[in-house]
Amino acid sequence: DVKVTQSSRYLVKRTGEKVFLECVQDMDHENMFWYRQDPGLGLRLIYFSYDVKMKEKGDIPEGYSVSREKKERFSLILESASTNQTSMYLCASIRRDSPHQPQHFGDGTRLSIL
Amino acid sequence: GDSVTQMEGPVTLSEEAFLTINCTYTATGYPSLFWYVQYPGEGLQLLLKATKADDKGSNKGFEATYRKETTSFHLEKGSVQVSDSAVYFCARGADRGSTLGRLYFGRGTQLTVWP
C-alpha cells in the first residue's frame, strides 16, 4: 500500500513565523501535490512538483513556496505565516505514468496561525 | 467556472434512507472521475472511480456511473448507515494528454446520517 506521511497532524504557529509542512511518500512517485482544504471551498491546489527540484504553481500559490530536494519528500513553506493561512493542508502523490489514476493522500495537517 | 460542481450540503438523512449526491464536470475530452470520502479527523480516501464513459464505479454499497452525455457522475447509495457520515468530494482527473495527474475537486458535501 502507498503511504503518504505528513509530519504533523496539528500545528499551531504565530503570525509572521516561517512554517514548514513536510510530506513523505514511500512509493517512488514522481508527482506530488499540496492542497489546502477550507469549508465550502473544497480542495484547492497550491503547488505541485513532477520531479526533484521541479515545481509548478497551482491555483493559489500566493504566500507559499515549496521545496523538492529528494524524490520522496515535498515540503510546503509559509514564508511569513498569516491568520488567513489557517487551514487543513493535504499532500498527495501519484506516479507520472499513471496520471489518470487516483492520487494518494496523507492524513492532513491542521494548521492554526494565531 | 468550476471544473467540478457538486451538490451543496449539508445533507442529513435517517439510517437506511437513499442517498444521491449530484456531481457534474466540465473538461476537454473524457477525464477520469473520482469520488473521495473524508471521515472526521482523517485525510481523503478514494471511494470509487470510473475511467471512461459508461463505466460504473462501486465500493461499500456506493455507486456512480460516468455519463458523458450529461457530463455527470452522481453518487448513490441505496441504504445509508451512521458510519457513512463524512464529507464526500467529487473530482475529475486531468485532461487526456496531460502527464501531471492533477485533480480538480468539487466543494464537498457533508453527509450526516442519524440512527
Cβ contact A103–B31 (<8 Å): no
Q: Does B52 touch chain A (CB under 8 A)?
A: no
Name the residue of chain B whose CA is nearest to A10's CA: B41
> If you average pLDDT over residues B13-17, what whole number do you get?
97
Distances (CA, A) of A4 to A72, A77, B42: 9, 18, 13
pLDDT in tens, B64-113: 999 999 999 999 999 999 999 999 999 998 776 666 678 899 999 999 99
Instruction: Report the share of chain A in percent with pLDDT over 70.
Output: 97
> If you average pLDDT over residues A77-99, what whole number do you get?
92
Name the residue of chain A whose CA is nearest to B10's CA: A40
pLDDT recorded at residue A96 = 79
- Pairwise CA distance, residues A81 & B34, whole Å: 33
pLDDT in tens, B16-67: 999 999 999 998 878 899 999 999 888 899 999 998 899 999 999 999 999 9
Of A90-94, A96-100, B34-38, B86-90, least confident by mean pLDDT is A96-100
Q: What are phi and psi of A84, to 5 degrees?
A: -75, 5
Binding-face residues of B in 83-102 toward A, CB within 8 A? 89, 93-94, 96, 98-102
pLDDT recorded at residue A57 = 94
pLDDT in tens, A34-59: 999 998 888 999 999 999 999 999 99
Cα distance between the two ends of chain A: 37
For testing the chain B interface, which of A103, A107, A109 should be mutated: the one with the most B CBs within 10 Å? A103
The Cα of B65 is separated from the nearest Cα of chain A by a number of Å equal to 17
Cβ contact B107–A42 (<8 Å): yes
Name the residue of chain A whose CA is nearest to B5's CA: A42
Q: Which chain B residues contact residue A96 at CB under 8 A?
A: 99, 101
pLDDT recorded at residue B1 = 53
Strand partners, A64: A78
Q: Which chain A residues contact residue B96 at CB under 8 A?
A: 100
Phi-psi region of B29 (alpha: psi -120 to 50; beta: other; left: phi over 0): left
* pLDDT averaged over every residue in chain A: 93
- Pairwise CA distance, residues A26 & A39, whole Å: 30
Q: How far is CA B66 from the centre of its chain?
A: 11
Strand partners, B67: B72
Name every residue whose Cβ is closer than 8 Å to that of residue B106 and which is 6 or more positions away in sequence: A42, B2, B4, B5, B6, B23, B89, B90, B91
